[in-house]
Amino acid sequence: MNGVRILTLQESFIQSPNSSPGKSLKEALLCAQTEERLTVGVYESAKIMTEDPDSVSFCVLAMDEEFECDIALQIHFTLIQSFCFDNDISIVRVSDMQRLVEIVGDKAEQFEDAHCVLITNPADGSWEDPALEKLHLFCEESRHLNDWVPEISLPER
């Protein structure tokens, strides 16, 4: 290619200080929240996935140290991951559930079970979210590198 190298999305995230998977995730979550397309909670998410799997666009699994040894939660995560893989739903992990709650909720107690957050498609299907598109591409590239559930660090305030 005449010495021209095309950067992958992951490389461009690394090289661009204003762009990162974490920043894109935050933007996508805030956009979905504004448009009332967020589902928060393991059980609520499982219900949406069962009733209308085609409505799910993106999945975020959140884990923190307090719940690392929670076997029931790990089983739920395994089932959710499997469902996402089977239905071509992009999925990421974040390690700071408290930060995720700060982004998606008004009150921390309102989202005690923010271990799973889904972004659903709009009802009319007429929307485009550049941040979410970047995340889908990031996840696709990660899968090509055998990183099936990449971990993303959410930006500080």
Domains by residue range for the chain, with CATH:
26-152 (3.30.1330.30)
Whether 120 shows a pLDDT value over 90: the answer reads yes
Residues 100-113, mean pLDDT to the nearest whole number: 72
Q: What is the pLDDT of residues 12-58, one digit of tens each?
A: 444 344 569 999 999 999 999 999 999 999 999 999 999 999 999 99
Tell me which of 66 and 106 has the higher pLDDT.
Answer: 66
Which pair of tokens denotes residue 59? 């999945």
> Rounded to whole angstroms, how far apart are CA atoms 145 and 20?
18
Whether 126 shows a pLDDT value over 90: the answer reads no
Average pLDDT, the chain: 84
Q: Exposed, middle or buried by CB within 10 Å (0-12, 13-18, 19+), for 125?
A: exposed
Tell me which of 129 and 90 has the higher pLDDT.
Answer: 90
| Residue-level pLDDT at 28 | 95
Residues 70-79, mean pLDDT to the nearest whole number: 91
Give the confidence band of 127 by pLDDT, cuts at 50, 70, 90: low
| Residue-level pLDDT at 5 | 41
| Residue-level pLDDT at 6 | 42
Which percentage of the chain shows pLDDT scores above 90? 61
Whether 135 shows a pLDDT value over 80: the answer reads yes
Burial 44-64 (b: 16+ CB within 10 A, else e): ebbeebeeeeeebbbbbbbbe
Does the pTM surpass 0.85? The reply is no
The secondary structure of 109-144 as a DSSP string is GGGTT-SEEEEEPPTT-----HHHHHHHHHHHHHHH
| Residue-level pLDDT at 155 | 92
